[in-house]
Structure formats: C-alpha cells, structure tokens
C-alpha cells in the first residue's frame, strides 16, 4: 500500500513542480514586461523613428517628406553643396562639435579636480558628518536646474552680484562682461555637473579599506605617494564613472549654453534644437543626434576595451 502511494505523490510532485516552473516563467515575463514596454516604446521606437527621419528629405514647414529618401542630412554635416552641385568642405558644424567636446572635456577635468579632493575629504570624516556632507552635496537637486541656471545669470551679468562684489573689493574696474561668453557656459557646466562627479567618487572612496593607507605609510610612502599609488587606483572605478556621468550629459547640454552663452558658445544640443525649431530641418537635426550618439558610443567602447574585466562602472 505504502509504495504505490508514494509513487503517486512523487509523480504529482513532478507535475506540480513543472506547473510551478511554468508559473515562475510567466511571473518573470510579467515582471519584465513594464520595463520592456518603456524601453521599447519610449526609447527604441523613437530612436528608430529618428534614424528613419535622418535619411528623409525635410518638409518645407518642418517635419519630413515621407518616402523621399536621401543621404543629404549626413552630407550637410561635413559639406556645403555649391550651385553647380559640387561639394566643398564646411567645418562650421565640426567646429561646434569640437567646441562642445572641448567644453565637456574641460568640465570633466575641472569637476574631477574639485570633486576628488571633496570626496576624499567627505570620506575621511566620521560616519555622521559624512551623511551630512553628502546630504549637502545633493541639496541642489531639490531645485530645477533651469531655475538655478537663471540664478547664474543674476550672478554673472554686468551689475550682478559677482561684478559689484569685485568692484567693492577694488579688484575690478569697468564691467565684468562675463555673461554670454564661453567662460560663463563653462562655469554653468561645472556648477551643474559637480555633484555627478562627487557622488560616484565618494561611493568608491567610502568602500576603501583605510588600513591599506596605513600599510602604504608603513612602507615609506608619503601622503602624496600613498594617494597616487594606493587611493587613486582603488578609487578608479568611481573616478571613471564620475567622468562618464559628467562628460556625456555635458556634451548634450542644451539650456546652459542657451541661457549663459552667446552666439559664439553654441553647443551640439543647441544646434540640434535649432534644426527642429527655427531651421525646420528635422532630418539634419536627427542626423546630428546620431552623429553625437555615435561619438559617445565610440568613447564608451574605447573605455570598455581599455578597462575590460576591471570591475563594474560603479
């Protein structure tokens, strides 16, 4: 009696397990579905649409002429079409790209130079103070960046706080003339992206085993050598993550140069915006976006190949 009944339960157990596995699989798919829908619907499809647009002719009043395919948008990026249909090199757009790369790169360097010591300082405090300081770093996120950028106009403009302050101290005669220059854009970028450098570096420094620093001191490394040979290599993942988090968004910034920069400090983001706005050349705007995307991916690829297998980004 006992043996057959045990067999029955084991068979039942097997099918029950299979049913459970099936349900497990279903649950898994159901859980992935919302995120998948968001990714496909809000990222993949729009990007495919943009890719398609970049190969179409522009409509006279914005939009595109569906079905009229042309590589003109990509040609326009590098060349001017003369009256006789010959092409001559046009570096205007390239110079905007290189300026954007320059501004983004300098932003990355400055935020790194400020952000690393700040993170190091915070990481060396007591846990209580650390929490406080990190909280202070995140306070700017409470206000919209657009509002904070407007605040910079008030600070930087002629007759603004900085100018009058410098005049009061007797450090400046005449006007400051800082607003609507590339330097104003640079200041705005550094201000906006500094927290994105501090937070990942702090995260990697916080995890650092400070006993290693003692070991370095014990082995004749002075403070600088210990920083250079032990702290920096171990904080490298955070430094790299911070650099990416600053460089990539800084490259595509739109309203900081829009508000703080003049005609000579146009960045890629503004150029793209213009194509979809005043210039009514959607295909060119789409092509510019893809040129930017391709360049960013290229940098990420170089990074990934360089640091392959050396731990995750964060």
Partner 1 sequence: MVYGEGSERVRALDRISLEIGHNEFFTLLGPSGCGKTTLLRLIAGFEQPTEGSIRLYGQPLEGLPPYRRPVNTVFQSYALFPHLSVAQNIAFGLEMLGKPRAEIAQVVREMLGLVKLVGYENRRPAQLSGGQQQRVALARALANRPKVLLLDESLSALDLKLRKEMQLELKRLHAETGITFVFVTHDQEEALTMSDRIAVMQEGRIAQVGTPTEIYDAPNSRYVADFIGETNFLKARARGGVLLLPDGSSLPTPVHTPDGEVTLAIRPERARLSADGSGISARVKDVVYKGTDTIYLLELPGQEPFQVRSQNRLGALQLVRPGDPVGLELPPEAVRVLKE
Please identify, using beta-carbon distances, which residue of 79 and 217 lies nearer to partner 1.
Answer: 217
Please report how close the Cβ of residue 209 comes to partner 1 at its closest, in angstroms: 7
Q: Which of 211, 263, 278, 308 binds partner 1 (CB under 8 A)?
A: 211
Q: Does 206 bind partner 1 (CB under 8 A)?
A: no
Q: Does 217 bind partner 1 (CB under 8 A)?
A: yes
Residues 232-261 that bind partner 1 (CB under 8 A): 233-234
Please tell me whether residue 104 binds partner 1 under the rule CB under 8 A. Answer: no
Quick one: which segment of 1-9, 71-79, 82-90, 217-225 binds partner 1 (CB under 8 A)? 217-225
8 vs 215, beta carbon nearer partner 1: 215
Shortest Å, Cβ 237 to partner 1: 11
Count of residues engaged in binding partner 1, rule: CB under 8 A: 17
Binding of partner 1 at residue 124 (CB under 8 A)? no
Tokens linked to 83 = 């009256």
| Nearer to partner 1 (CB atom), residue 201 or residue 216 | 216
Give Cα 41 distance to the centre of its chain.
22
Output 81 or 229, the one with its CB closest to partner 1. Answer: 229
Query: CA nearest 99: which of 214, 220, 263?
Result: 263
3-class secondary structure, 87 = strand
Q: How far is Cα 198 from Cα 205, in angstroms, rounded to an integer?
A: 10
The region, left, alpha or beta by phi > 0 then psi within -120 to 50, assigned to residue 280 is left
HEC readout, 22-72: HHHHHHHHHHHHHHHHHHHHHHHHHHHHHHHHCCEEECECECEEEEEECCH
Say how far apart CA 17 and CA 23 lie, in whole Å.
Answer: 10
Residues at the site binding partner 1, with contacts judged by CB under 8 A? 209, 211-212, 214-222, 225, 229-230, 233-234
């Amino acid at each position: 009696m006992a043996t057959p009944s045990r067999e029955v339960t084991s068979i039942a157990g097997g099918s029950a397990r299979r049913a459970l596995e099936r349900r497990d699989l279903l649950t898994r798919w159901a859980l992935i579905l919302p995120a998948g829908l968001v990714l496909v619907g809000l990222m993949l499809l729009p990007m495919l649409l943009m890719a398609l647009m970049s190969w179409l002719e522009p409509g006279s009043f914005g939009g595109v002429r569906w079905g009229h395919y042309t590589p003109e948008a990509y040609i326009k990026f590098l060349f001017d079409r003369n009256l006789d249909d010959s092409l001559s090199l046009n570096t205007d757009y390239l110079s905007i790209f290189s300026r954007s790369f320059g501004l983004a790169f300098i932003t990355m360097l400055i935020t790194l130079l400020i952000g690393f010591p700040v993170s190091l300082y915070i990481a060396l405090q007591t846990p209580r103070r650390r929490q406080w300081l990190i909280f202070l770093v995140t306070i700017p996120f409470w206000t919209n960046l657009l509002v904070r950028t407007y605040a910079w106009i008030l600070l930087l403009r002629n007759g603004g706080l900085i100018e009058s302050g410098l005049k009061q101290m007797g450090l400046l005669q005449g006007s400051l003339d800082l607003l609507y220059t590339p330097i104003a854009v640079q200041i705005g970028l550094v201000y906006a992206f500094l927290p994105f450098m501090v937070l990942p570096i702090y995260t990697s420094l916080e995890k650092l085993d400070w006993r290693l620093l003692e070991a370095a001191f014990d082995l004749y490394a002075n403070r600088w050598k210990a920083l250079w040979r032990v702290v920096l290599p171990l904080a490298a993942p955070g430094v790299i993550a911070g650099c990416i988090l600053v460089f990539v968004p800084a490259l595509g910034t739109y309203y900081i140069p829009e508000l703080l920069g003049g005609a000579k400090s146009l960045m890629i983001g503004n150029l793209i915006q213009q194509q979809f706005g005043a210039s009514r050349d959607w295909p060119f705007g789409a092509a510019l976006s893809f040129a930017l995307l391709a360049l960013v991916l290229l940098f990420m690829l170089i990074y990934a190949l360089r640091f392959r297998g050396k731990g995750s980004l964060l």
